[in-house]
Amino acid sequence: MKIILVALTVFFSTCEHADMIKAKNFFDNAKCAECHNVEDFKDKTFRKSKTFTEMKGMVSACQIQHDAQWFDDDEHDVALYLNQEYFHFTEKE
C-alpha cells in the first residue's frame, strides 16, 4: 500500500512539474515579459490582483489582447505557474 502511495505521489508531482515547465514556456513564448517584469508580480504594493481569480482573469485578458491563442487550460496552467512562483495566493480555483 505504501509503495502505491509513494508511486502515486511521484507520478502526480512529476505531472505538476511538467505543467509548470509547459506554463513557463507559454509565458515566455507569448512575450508576456515584454510588458511584465515578473519580479513586480511579487510586490504586494505594486500588483493589482488581490485574489487568484482576479489574477487569472488578467492572464486571460492579456493573452487574448496579445493574441496568444491559449486554451482555458493553458490560461489556468499559466495562472498556477505565476501563482506558485510569484503571487502565492492560497485560494486556487
* Closest C-alpha among 71, 90, 92 to residue 80: 92
- Min dist CB 21 to ligand HEC, Å, is 16
Does 55 engage in binding with ligand HEC (CB under 6 A)? yes
Does 47 engage in binding with ligand HEC (CB under 6 A)? yes
Compute the CA torsion angle 31, 36, 37, 39 (nearest 10 deg): -120
**Pair 85, 38: CB distance under 8 Å:** yes
Cα separation, 15 vs 6, in Å, equals 14
For the window 59-88, what string marks contact with ligand HEC as x by the rule CB under 6 A? x--xx--x-x---------x---x------
Residues binding ligand HEC (CB under 6 A)? 27, 30-32, 34-36, 47-49, 55, 58-59, 62-63, 66, 68, 78, 82
